[in-house]
Structure 1
Amino acid sequence: MLTARSVDLPEWVICAGCNAPAYGNRFRRDLLVCPECGHHERMTSDERIATLLDEGSAEDLGFPVATGDPLGFVDSKPYPARLSEAQAATGMPEAVACVRGTIGGNPVVAAVMDFRFLGGSLGAAVGELITRTAELARAERTPLLVVTASGGARMQEGALALMQMAKTSQAFRELDEAGVLTVSLVTDPTYGGVAASFATQADVIIAEPGARMGFAGPRVIEQTIRQSLPDGFQTAEFLAERGLVDAVVPRHGFRSTLSRLLSAGARRAAPPHDGGGRDAEPPGTPLVTDPRDLPAGETWEAVRLARALDRPTALDYIQRITDDFVELHGDRLGGDCRAITGGLARLDGAPLVIIGHRKGHTAKELANADFGMPAPAGYRKAARLMRLAAKLGVPVVTLVDTPGAYPGIEAEAEGQAGAIADSLRLMTGLPVPVVSVVTGEGGSGGALALAVANKVLAFSNAVYSVISPEGCAAILWRDPDAAPRAARELRVDARSLLELGIVDAVVPEPGGGAQRDPGAAATALKAAIRASLDELSPLDAARLVEERRVRFRRFQALGEETS
Structure 2
Amino acid sequence: MEPSTLERINGLPDGVWRPCPRCAALLHRDRLARALHTCPECGHHLPLGADDRIALLVDPDSFVEHDADLAAADPLEFTDRMPYPQRLERARAKTGRADGAVLGLATIGGHRVALVVLDFAFLGGSMGSAVGEKVARAAETALDHGVPLVAVSASGGARMQEGVLSLLQMAKTAAAIRLLRDAGVPYLSVLTDPVYGGVAASFASLGDVIVAEEGTRAGFAGPRVIEQTIRQPLPAGFQTARFLHEHGHVDLVVRRAELPGVLARLIGFCAAAGTAAGPVPVAGPRSSRTPGPRPSRTPGHEDRPERSVDAWTAVRRARAADRPTVRQHLDRIFDDFVELHGDRWERDDSAIVGGLARLDGSPVVVVGTAKGRDTRENVANNFGMPHPAGYRKVMRLFELAQRWGVPVVTLVDTPGAYPGLAAEEGNQSGAIAETLALAAGLRTPVVAVITGEGGSGGALALAVADRLLIQENGVFSVISPEGCAAILFGDAGQAPVAARALRLRAEDLGRLGVVDEILPEPPGDPERAAGLVAEAVSRLLGQLAGVPVEELLAARYRRLRGYGVLARDGGTARDGGGTIRDGGGTIRDGGGTGSPAAEPWREGAHV
TM-score where L is the length of structure 2: 0.44
TM-score calculated relative to the size of structure 1: 0.47
Higher RCO, 1 or 2 (CA under 8 Å, sep at least 6)?
2
